Amino acid sequence: MLKSIKQSVWSLILLALLPAGLSAQRFLYTNNDVVPNSISAYAIGTNGALNEITGSPFATGGDGRGANPGFNSANRIIIVNNFLYASNSGSNTISAFSIDPASGNLVPVVGSPFSTGAFNDPTQSGISLAATPDGKFLYAGSTGYDAQFNPAPITMFTIDPTTGALTVSSKSPIPAGGAMSSMKVSPDGNYLLAAIPGSNAISVFAIRGPGMLHAIHNSSYALSSEAATSIDINCSSNLVFAGGTGGDIYAFNFASGALLPVSGSPFATGLASNRVVTLSTTDSTLYSSNQSGSTVTAFAVGSNGVLAIPGTSVNAAGVATGVLPYPSGLAVSNDGQFLYAADLNSDASSPVHSGFSIFSLSGSSPLTFVSLNSTGLASGLQSLAAYPAKACTALAAPKK
Protein backbone atom coordinates (compact mmCIF):
# COMPACT_ATOMS: atom_id res chain seq x y z
CA MET A 1 0.00 0.00 0.00
CA LEU A 2 2.78 2.42 0.99
CA LYS A 3 4.71 1.55 -2.16
CA SER A 4 1.64 2.29 -4.28
CA ILE A 5 1.16 5.68 -2.60
CA LYS A 6 4.82 6.59 -3.15
CA GLN A 7 4.57 5.66 -6.84
CA SER A 8 1.43 7.80 -7.23
CA VAL A 9 3.12 10.76 -5.57
CA TRP A 10 6.16 10.51 -7.85
CA SER A 11 3.89 10.23 -10.89
CA LEU A 12 2.14 13.45 -9.92
CA ILE A 13 5.48 15.21 -9.38
CA LEU A 14 6.73 14.12 -12.80
CA LEU A 15 3.54 15.29 -14.50
CA ALA A 16 3.84 18.68 -12.82
CA LEU A 17 7.44 19.09 -13.91
CA LEU A 18 7.05 18.09 -17.57
CA PRO A 19 5.83 21.47 -18.92
CA ALA A 20 8.82 23.26 -17.37
CA GLY A 21 11.15 21.69 -19.90
CA LEU A 22 10.94 19.58 -23.01
CA SER A 23 8.45 16.80 -22.36
CA ALA A 24 8.84 13.33 -23.79
CA GLN A 25 5.78 13.99 -25.94
CA ARG A 26 4.35 17.02 -27.74
CA PHE A 27 0.80 17.57 -28.94
CA LEU A 28 -1.26 19.77 -31.22
CA TYR A 29 -4.89 20.73 -30.53
CA THR A 30 -7.55 22.38 -32.67
CA ASN A 31 -10.75 24.26 -32.07
CA ASN A 32 -12.88 22.66 -34.79
CA ASP A 33 -15.65 25.27 -34.43
CA VAL A 34 -18.34 22.77 -35.42
CA VAL A 35 -21.87 22.15 -34.12
CA PRO A 36 -21.64 20.53 -31.61
CA ASN A 37 -18.09 21.74 -31.11
CA SER A 38 -15.03 19.53 -30.63
CA ILE A 39 -11.26 19.54 -30.22
CA SER A 40 -9.02 17.30 -32.31
CA ALA A 41 -5.79 16.17 -30.63
CA TYR A 42 -2.60 14.93 -32.28
CA ALA A 43 0.74 13.60 -31.07
CA ILE A 44 3.67 15.29 -32.82
CA GLY A 45 6.21 12.81 -34.15
CA THR A 46 9.95 13.36 -34.36
CA ASN A 47 9.53 14.23 -38.04
CA GLY A 48 6.70 16.66 -37.31
CA ALA A 49 3.99 14.27 -38.51
CA LEU A 50 0.68 14.29 -36.67
CA ASN A 51 -0.97 11.16 -35.27
CA GLU A 52 -4.48 11.57 -33.89
CA ILE A 53 -4.66 10.29 -30.31
CA THR A 54 -7.20 7.88 -28.90
CA GLY A 55 -10.48 9.58 -28.02
CA SER A 56 -10.05 12.47 -30.45
CA PRO A 57 -12.02 14.53 -31.30
CA PHE A 58 -13.10 15.53 -27.79
CA ALA A 59 -16.52 17.14 -27.31
CA THR A 60 -16.42 20.63 -25.78
CA GLY A 61 -20.00 20.60 -24.54
CA GLY A 62 -20.69 23.79 -26.51
CA ASP A 63 -21.38 24.88 -30.09
CA GLY A 64 -19.08 26.42 -32.65
CA ARG A 65 -20.23 28.39 -35.67
CA GLY A 66 -19.84 25.64 -38.26
CA ALA A 67 -19.71 26.82 -41.84
CA ASN A 68 -19.75 30.50 -40.87
CA PRO A 69 -16.82 30.97 -38.51
CA GLY A 70 -16.89 34.76 -38.68
CA PHE A 71 -14.05 37.20 -39.08
CA ASN A 72 -10.64 35.76 -38.40
CA SER A 73 -10.03 35.04 -34.74
CA ALA A 74 -6.45 33.95 -34.23
CA ASN A 75 -6.55 32.36 -30.79
CA ARG A 76 -9.80 30.49 -30.19
CA ILE A 77 -7.82 27.84 -28.31
CA ILE A 78 -4.91 28.32 -25.90
CA ILE A 79 -2.72 26.34 -23.51
CA VAL A 80 -2.26 27.55 -19.93
CA ASN A 81 0.20 25.30 -18.07
CA ASN A 82 -1.48 21.86 -18.07
CA PHE A 83 -4.90 23.21 -19.03
CA LEU A 84 -6.50 23.81 -22.41
CA TYR A 85 -9.22 26.39 -23.06
CA ALA A 86 -11.34 26.56 -26.19
CA SER A 87 -14.09 29.03 -27.08
CA ASN A 88 -17.55 28.01 -28.28
CA SER A 89 -18.76 30.95 -30.36
CA GLY A 90 -22.17 29.43 -31.02
CA SER A 91 -23.01 29.15 -27.33
CA ASN A 92 -20.83 31.97 -25.93
CA THR A 93 -18.99 29.64 -23.56
CA ILE A 94 -15.42 28.60 -22.79
CA SER A 95 -14.54 24.91 -22.42
CA ALA A 96 -11.75 23.84 -20.08
CA PHE A 97 -9.76 20.60 -20.06
CA SER A 98 -6.82 19.20 -18.14
CA ILE A 99 -4.07 17.76 -20.35
CA ASP A 100 -2.34 14.46 -19.63
CA PRO A 101 1.29 15.31 -20.52
CA ALA A 102 2.10 11.68 -21.30
CA SER A 103 -0.82 10.74 -23.57
CA GLY A 104 -2.28 14.10 -24.63
CA ASN A 105 -5.68 12.96 -23.43
CA LEU A 106 -8.14 15.71 -22.49
CA VAL A 107 -10.32 15.49 -19.39
CA PRO A 108 -13.11 18.08 -19.01
CA VAL A 109 -12.74 20.35 -15.99
CA VAL A 110 -15.68 20.10 -13.57
CA GLY A 111 -18.21 22.81 -14.47
CA SER A 112 -17.06 23.13 -18.09
CA PRO A 113 -18.17 24.76 -20.33
CA PHE A 114 -18.21 28.15 -18.56
CA SER A 115 -20.46 31.00 -19.66
CA THR A 116 -18.82 34.25 -20.69
CA GLY A 117 -21.72 36.05 -19.02
CA ALA A 118 -20.90 39.15 -21.02
CA PHE A 119 -22.06 38.89 -24.60
CA ASN A 120 -24.45 37.03 -26.84
CA ASP A 121 -23.29 37.64 -30.37
CA PRO A 122 -25.78 36.84 -33.14
CA THR A 123 -23.39 37.83 -35.94
CA GLN A 124 -21.58 34.51 -36.41
CA SER A 125 -18.29 35.56 -34.89
CA GLY A 126 -15.34 34.04 -33.05
CA ILE A 127 -14.14 34.40 -29.47
CA SER A 128 -10.43 35.05 -28.91
CA LEU A 129 -8.66 34.03 -25.71
CA ALA A 130 -5.60 35.32 -23.86
CA ALA A 131 -4.09 34.43 -20.49
CA THR A 132 -1.62 35.98 -18.07
CA PRO A 133 1.75 34.17 -18.02
CA ASP A 134 1.32 33.27 -14.35
CA GLY A 135 -1.78 31.26 -15.31
CA LYS A 136 -4.07 33.15 -12.94
CA PHE A 137 -6.38 35.01 -15.35
CA LEU A 138 -8.08 34.30 -18.68
CA TYR A 139 -9.61 36.91 -20.97
CA ALA A 140 -12.23 36.33 -23.68
CA GLY A 141 -13.14 38.84 -26.38
CA SER A 142 -15.53 38.51 -29.31
CA THR A 143 -15.08 39.56 -32.93
CA GLY A 144 -18.77 40.45 -33.09
CA TYR A 145 -21.51 42.77 -31.89
CA ASP A 146 -24.79 42.34 -30.08
CA ALA A 147 -28.24 42.88 -31.62
CA GLN A 148 -27.92 46.65 -31.03
CA PHE A 149 -24.52 46.59 -32.77
CA ASN A 150 -22.62 47.30 -29.59
CA PRO A 151 -19.17 45.70 -29.56
CA ALA A 152 -18.85 42.82 -27.15
CA PRO A 153 -16.84 43.57 -23.99
CA ILE A 154 -14.00 41.51 -22.55
CA THR A 155 -14.86 38.82 -20.02
CA MET A 156 -12.25 38.31 -17.31
CA PHE A 157 -11.98 34.94 -15.56
CA THR A 158 -9.90 33.78 -12.62
CA ILE A 159 -8.31 30.35 -13.13
CA ASP A 160 -8.25 27.84 -10.30
CA PRO A 161 -4.59 26.73 -10.27
CA THR A 162 -5.47 23.21 -9.11
CA THR A 163 -8.56 22.32 -11.12
CA GLY A 164 -8.41 24.78 -14.03
CA ALA A 165 -11.99 25.88 -13.37
CA LEU A 166 -13.01 29.37 -14.48
CA THR A 167 -14.85 31.97 -12.42
CA VAL A 168 -16.09 35.21 -13.96
CA SER A 169 -14.44 38.11 -12.15
CA SER A 170 -16.55 40.69 -10.33
CA LYS A 171 -14.63 43.26 -12.44
CA SER A 172 -16.14 41.79 -15.60
CA PRO A 173 -17.33 42.76 -18.21
CA ILE A 174 -14.71 45.26 -19.35
CA PRO A 175 -15.42 47.64 -22.28
CA ALA A 176 -13.05 46.88 -25.15
CA GLY A 177 -13.71 49.83 -27.45
CA GLY A 178 -14.55 47.58 -30.39
CA ALA A 179 -14.85 44.02 -31.61
CA MET A 180 -11.60 42.05 -31.22
CA SER A 181 -10.01 39.72 -33.75
CA SER A 182 -7.05 38.83 -31.54
CA MET A 183 -5.72 39.38 -28.02
CA LYS A 184 -2.31 38.82 -26.46
CA VAL A 185 -0.90 39.36 -22.96
CA SER A 186 2.71 40.55 -22.87
CA PRO A 187 5.10 37.90 -21.45
CA ASP A 188 5.95 40.23 -18.54
CA GLY A 189 2.27 40.09 -17.56
CA ASN A 190 1.82 43.87 -17.53
CA TYR A 191 -0.30 44.53 -20.62
CA LEU A 192 -3.03 43.08 -22.82
CA LEU A 193 -3.12 44.14 -26.47
CA ALA A 194 -6.18 43.71 -28.66
CA ALA A 195 -6.59 44.00 -32.44
CA ILE A 196 -9.73 46.04 -33.20
CA PRO A 197 -10.51 45.56 -36.90
CA GLY A 198 -13.54 47.87 -36.97
CA SER A 199 -11.36 50.91 -36.24
CA ASN A 200 -8.14 49.59 -37.81
CA ALA A 201 -6.56 49.89 -34.38
CA ILE A 202 -4.58 48.11 -31.69
CA SER A 203 -5.77 48.86 -28.17
CA VAL A 204 -3.56 48.61 -25.09
CA PHE A 205 -4.75 47.71 -21.59
CA ALA A 206 -2.59 47.85 -18.49
CA ILE A 207 -2.99 44.84 -16.18
CA ARG A 208 -3.06 45.85 -12.55
CA GLY A 209 -3.51 43.50 -9.61
CA PRO A 210 -5.31 41.32 -9.49
CA GLY A 211 -5.67 40.90 -13.28
CA MET A 212 -7.77 44.04 -13.80
CA LEU A 213 -7.62 45.72 -17.21
CA HIS A 214 -7.27 49.48 -17.55
CA ALA A 215 -7.50 50.96 -21.05
CA ILE A 216 -4.59 53.22 -22.00
CA HIS A 217 -6.41 55.36 -24.54
CA ASN A 218 -3.44 57.44 -25.62
CA SER A 219 -1.48 54.25 -26.33
CA SER A 220 -3.91 52.85 -28.91
CA TYR A 221 -2.45 52.82 -32.39
CA ALA A 222 -4.42 53.29 -35.63
CA LEU A 223 -3.14 51.32 -38.61
CA SER A 224 -2.80 53.32 -41.79
CA SER A 225 -5.34 51.69 -44.10
CA GLU A 226 -6.20 48.15 -43.04
CA ALA A 227 -7.66 46.12 -40.21
CA ALA A 228 -5.36 44.48 -37.68
CA THR A 229 -6.05 40.76 -37.53
CA SER A 230 -3.56 39.34 -35.04
CA ILE A 231 -0.84 40.26 -32.56
CA ASP A 232 2.30 38.67 -31.16
CA ILE A 233 4.81 39.98 -28.61
CA ASN A 234 8.39 38.89 -28.08
CA CYS A 235 9.61 37.38 -24.82
CA SER A 236 11.31 40.62 -23.78
CA SER A 237 7.93 42.37 -24.12
CA ASN A 238 9.56 45.24 -26.02
CA LEU A 239 8.55 44.36 -29.60
CA VAL A 240 4.99 43.96 -30.93
CA PHE A 241 3.99 42.65 -34.36
CA ALA A 242 0.58 42.86 -36.03
CA GLY A 243 -0.77 41.36 -39.23
CA GLY A 244 -3.11 43.31 -41.48
CA THR A 245 -5.82 42.47 -43.99
CA GLY A 246 -4.06 44.44 -46.73
CA GLY A 247 -0.80 42.51 -46.62
CA ASP A 248 1.31 44.85 -44.50
CA ILE A 249 2.97 43.83 -41.23
CA TYR A 250 3.27 46.39 -38.45
CA ALA A 251 6.17 46.33 -35.99
CA PHE A 252 6.39 48.44 -32.83
CA ASN A 253 8.78 49.24 -30.06
CA PHE A 254 6.74 48.74 -26.90
CA ALA A 255 7.55 50.46 -23.61
CA SER A 256 5.37 51.71 -20.73
CA GLY A 257 2.26 50.80 -22.73
CA ALA A 258 3.20 52.93 -25.75
CA LEU A 259 3.37 51.56 -29.30
CA LEU A 260 6.05 53.29 -31.39
CA PRO A 261 6.58 52.08 -35.00
CA VAL A 262 10.03 50.67 -35.69
CA SER A 263 11.97 52.02 -38.63
CA GLY A 264 10.32 50.96 -41.90
CA SER A 265 6.99 49.95 -40.37
CA PRO A 266 4.51 49.15 -41.80
CA PHE A 267 6.42 46.63 -43.89
CA ALA A 268 4.92 46.18 -47.37
CA THR A 269 5.29 42.44 -47.90
CA GLY A 270 3.84 42.37 -51.40
CA LEU A 271 1.47 39.64 -50.24
CA ALA A 272 -2.31 39.74 -50.48
CA SER A 273 -2.94 39.47 -46.76
CA ASN A 274 -1.31 38.61 -43.44
CA ARG A 275 -4.06 37.11 -41.33
CA VAL A 276 -2.03 35.71 -38.44
CA VAL A 277 1.51 36.43 -37.25
CA THR A 278 3.48 34.40 -34.74
CA LEU A 279 7.08 34.50 -33.53
CA SER A 280 9.53 31.61 -33.42
CA THR A 281 10.62 30.18 -30.07
CA THR A 282 13.75 32.36 -30.26
CA ASP A 283 11.85 35.48 -31.45
CA SER A 284 14.30 35.71 -34.36
CA THR A 285 11.74 34.85 -37.06
CA LEU A 286 8.18 36.05 -37.65
CA TYR A 287 5.76 33.81 -39.53
CA SER A 288 2.60 35.03 -41.26
CA SER A 289 -0.30 33.17 -42.84
CA ASN A 290 -1.64 34.66 -46.04
CA GLN A 291 -5.15 33.40 -46.67
CA SER A 292 -5.67 35.16 -49.98
CA GLY A 293 -2.48 33.70 -51.45
CA SER A 294 -2.57 30.32 -49.62
CA THR A 295 1.02 30.81 -48.49
CA VAL A 296 2.96 31.02 -45.24
CA THR A 297 5.93 33.40 -45.01
CA ALA A 298 9.00 33.57 -42.76
CA PHE A 299 10.62 36.95 -42.04
CA ALA A 300 13.93 37.36 -40.23
CA VAL A 301 13.53 39.75 -37.28
CA GLY A 302 16.35 42.13 -36.38
CA SER A 303 17.14 42.96 -32.75
CA ASN A 304 15.53 46.36 -33.42
CA GLY A 305 12.33 44.75 -34.75
CA VAL A 306 13.05 45.46 -38.42
CA LEU A 307 11.81 42.71 -40.76
CA ALA A 308 13.86 41.39 -43.67
CA ILE A 309 11.63 41.87 -46.71
CA PRO A 310 10.41 40.06 -48.82
CA GLY A 311 10.89 37.01 -46.60
CA THR A 312 10.55 33.38 -47.64
CA SER A 313 7.07 32.37 -48.83
CA VAL A 314 6.00 28.74 -49.18
CA ASN A 315 2.74 27.45 -50.64
CA ALA A 316 0.60 25.95 -47.87
CA ALA A 317 -0.18 22.99 -50.14
CA GLY A 318 3.48 22.51 -51.07
CA VAL A 319 2.96 23.50 -54.69
CA ALA A 320 0.39 25.60 -56.52
CA THR A 321 -2.32 23.04 -57.26
CA GLY A 322 -6.10 22.94 -57.24
CA VAL A 323 -6.02 22.85 -53.44
CA LEU A 324 -6.24 26.29 -51.82
CA PRO A 325 -5.67 25.72 -48.08
CA TYR A 326 -6.32 29.33 -46.98
CA PRO A 327 -4.04 29.09 -43.91
CA SER A 328 -5.07 30.99 -40.80
CA GLY A 329 -3.92 30.22 -37.23
CA LEU A 330 -0.27 29.29 -36.65
CA ALA A 331 1.51 27.32 -33.91
CA VAL A 332 5.19 26.53 -33.40
CA SER A 333 6.28 23.35 -31.60
CA ASN A 334 8.03 24.20 -28.36
CA ASP A 335 11.32 22.74 -29.61
CA GLY A 336 11.23 25.27 -32.46
CA GLN A 337 11.47 22.55 -35.12
CA PHE A 338 8.03 22.68 -36.75
CA LEU A 339 5.34 25.18 -37.72
CA TYR A 340 1.69 24.21 -38.11
CA ALA A 341 -0.93 26.20 -40.01
CA ALA A 342 -4.67 25.76 -39.53
CA ASP A 343 -6.27 25.46 -42.97
CA LEU A 344 -9.82 26.26 -43.98
CA ASN A 345 -9.42 23.64 -46.73
CA SER A 346 -6.89 20.80 -46.86
CA ASP A 347 -8.67 18.11 -48.89
CA ALA A 348 -8.74 18.23 -52.70
CA SER A 349 -11.63 15.75 -52.79
CA SER A 350 -13.79 17.87 -50.49
CA PRO A 351 -13.27 21.64 -50.41
CA VAL A 352 -15.06 21.94 -47.07
CA HIS A 353 -12.61 19.73 -45.17
CA SER A 354 -10.21 21.49 -42.84
CA GLY A 355 -6.73 20.43 -41.81
CA PHE A 356 -3.08 21.37 -41.38
CA SER A 357 -0.06 22.45 -43.33
CA ILE A 358 3.15 21.22 -41.69
CA PHE A 359 6.47 23.04 -42.18
CA SER A 360 9.98 22.21 -41.02
CA LEU A 361 11.95 25.08 -39.47
CA SER A 362 15.35 23.37 -39.55
CA GLY A 363 17.76 23.13 -42.45
CA SER A 364 19.07 25.63 -44.98
CA SER A 365 15.68 27.25 -45.59
CA PRO A 366 13.80 29.07 -42.82
CA LEU A 367 10.58 27.36 -43.91
CA THR A 368 10.21 24.02 -45.71
CA PHE A 369 6.89 22.40 -46.60
CA VAL A 370 6.46 18.89 -45.16
CA SER A 371 2.88 17.78 -45.77
CA LEU A 372 -0.78 18.71 -46.05
CA ASN A 373 -3.14 16.84 -43.73
CA SER A 374 -6.93 16.79 -43.59
CA THR A 375 -8.87 16.50 -40.32
CA GLY A 376 -11.74 14.93 -42.22
CA LEU A 377 -14.13 17.39 -40.54
CA ALA A 378 -16.46 19.53 -42.61
CA SER A 379 -15.63 22.88 -41.08
CA GLY A 380 -13.06 25.55 -41.80
CA LEU A 381 -10.21 25.38 -39.29
CA GLN A 382 -9.19 28.76 -37.86
CA SER A 383 -6.96 28.18 -34.83
CA LEU A 384 -4.76 25.63 -33.11
CA ALA A 385 -2.40 25.39 -30.14
CA ALA A 386 0.79 23.45 -29.43
CA TYR A 387 1.56 21.73 -26.10
CA PRO A 388 3.75 22.42 -24.25
CA ALA A 389 3.28 26.06 -25.19
CA LYS A 390 6.15 28.43 -25.96
CA ALA A 391 7.80 29.41 -22.68
CA CYS A 392 9.46 32.76 -22.03
CA THR A 393 11.95 32.67 -19.15
CA ALA A 394 13.03 35.32 -16.65
CA LEU A 395 9.68 37.10 -16.72
CA ALA A 396 9.35 40.40 -14.91
CA ALA A 397 6.93 40.57 -11.99
CA PRO A 398 3.59 42.10 -13.00
CA LYS A 399 3.02 45.66 -11.84
CA LYS A 400 0.67 46.15 -8.91
User: Which of 75, 354, 29 is closest to 230 using CA atoms?
Assistant: 75
* Sequence-ordered list of residues with C-beta below 8 angstroms from that of 373, at least 6 positions apart, any chain: 50, 346, 355, 356, 357, 358
* pLDDT surpasses 70 at 2: no
| Arithmetic mean of pLDDT, 183-192 | 95
Neighbours of 175 (CB within 10 A): 12
* pLDDT surpasses 60 at 6: no
Q: Considering the entire predicted model, what is its pTM? A: 0.89
Q: What is the pLDDT of residue 147?
A: 61
| Nearest-angstrom CA–CA distance, 325 and 322 | 10
pLDDT in tens, 44-103: 999 999 999 999 999 999 998 765 444 556 689 999 999 999 999 888 899 999 999 999
Cα 10 to Cα 7, 14, 83, 110, 369, distances in angstroms: 5, 6, 20, 25, 41
pLDDT in tens, 206-249: 998 888 898 886 666 777 777 788 899 999 999 999 988 888 89
Confidence of residue 200 (pLDDT cuts 50, 70, 90): confident
| Nearest-angstrom CA–CA distance, 389 and 34 | 24
User: Which of 35, 19, 36 is closest to 27 using CA atoms?
Assistant: 19
pLDDT in tens, 39-52: 999 999 999 999 99
Higher-pLDDT residue of 142 and 55 is 55
Average pLDDT, the chain: 84
Q: What is the pLDDT of residue 247?
A: 85
pLDDT in tens, 318-355: 887 777 888 889 999 999 999 999 988 776 666 567 88
User: Which of 398, 388, 373 is closest to 332 using CA atoms?
Assistant: 388
Confidence of residue 377 (pLDDT cuts 50, 70, 90): confident
Which amino acid, one-letter code, is at 53? Answer: I
